[in-house]
């Protein structure tokens, strides 16, 4: 089965399961989306949401975090992994937004990726969910599932993103990447399925007998 045929099967299954796709992270505006995505590195979205629900009602603007300073930001997010590094990034990216962008989140990959603590994946999420720009952010779930489904060789997340963009229609990217994330959490889990039991794996590889080991991101 070629990749194009697989892509149609995958989209059909995902659209049936997730006709409406919730955004995993809770946020109030584009700035708080940026902060939440930054906080989610090496941390579950559930944990991030549990922490930010007590932050965003009061602090939701770059000037708020500049005024707080690094130590107070650390105290607010201390239940999140590597919180000191993240607090430093949040503080300095907030300062940059205030000084350089009039407290607005920039609308381009180049400018976003120049902000402290912001890499390509974070920028992609903001461009997609914050601004509606077609993007395909690749997290660990997407990287794993794309390999299990035979859509990429798993060399690295850059290659996976490139391969997925070449296979799926551009208009589907923003919705599809969220659908794949949810499917990876609920049906094709890291320590389950192994390319053998979920509906998509069985549809793409009906004759697969051995567990498939995906390369890590």
Say whether 192 is catalytic: no
Q: What is the DSSP letter of 102?
A: T
Asked whether 52 and 39 are in contact (CB, 8 A), the reply is yes
Q: Which two tokens stand for residue 199?
A: 């509906």
From the candidates 3, 6, 45, 139, which is the catalytic residue?
Answer: 139
From the candidates 121, 199, 215, 216, which is the catalytic residue?
Answer: 121
CA atoms within 13 A on the CB side of 89: 23
3-class secondary-structure state, position 136:
coil
The dihedral of CA 34, 35, 36, 37: what is its sign?
positive
In a 10 Å sphere around its CB, with 0-12 CB exposed, 13-18 middle and 19+ buried, how is residue 35 labelled? buried
Say whether 139 is catalytic: yes
Look at residues 58, 47, 130 and name the one whose alpha carbon lies nearest to residue 82.
47
Asked whether 164 and 136 are in contact (CB, 8 A), the reply is yes
Catalytic machinery residues: 121, 139
């Amino acid at each position: 089965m070629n990749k194009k045929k697989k892509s149609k099967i995958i989209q059909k299954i995902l659209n049936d399961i997730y006709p409406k796709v919730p955004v995993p992270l809770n946020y109030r505006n584009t700035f708080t989306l940026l902060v939440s995505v930054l906080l989610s590195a090496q941390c579950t979205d559930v944990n991030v949401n549990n922490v930010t629900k007590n932050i965003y009602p009061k602090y939701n603007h770059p000037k708020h975090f500049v005024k707080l300073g690094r130590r107070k930001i650390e105290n607010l997010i201390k239940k999140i992994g590597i919180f000191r590094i993240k607090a430093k990034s949040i503080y300095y990216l907030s300062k940059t937004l205030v000084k350089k962008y009039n407290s607005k989140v920039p609308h381009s990959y180049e400018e976003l990726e120049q902000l402290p603590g912001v890499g390509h994946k974070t920028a992609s999420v903001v461009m997609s969910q914050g601004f509606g720009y077609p993007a395909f952010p690749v997290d660990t779930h997407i990287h794993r599932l794309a390999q299990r489904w035979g859509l990429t060789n798993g060399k690295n997340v850059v290659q996976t993103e490139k391969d997925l963009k070449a296979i799926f229609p551009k208009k589907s990217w923003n919705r599809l990447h969220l659908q794949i994330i949810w499917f990876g959490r609920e049906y094709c889990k890291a320590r389950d399925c192994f390319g053998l039991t979920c509906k998509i794996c069985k549809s793409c590889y009906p004759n697969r007998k051995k567990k498939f080991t995906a390369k890590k991101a």
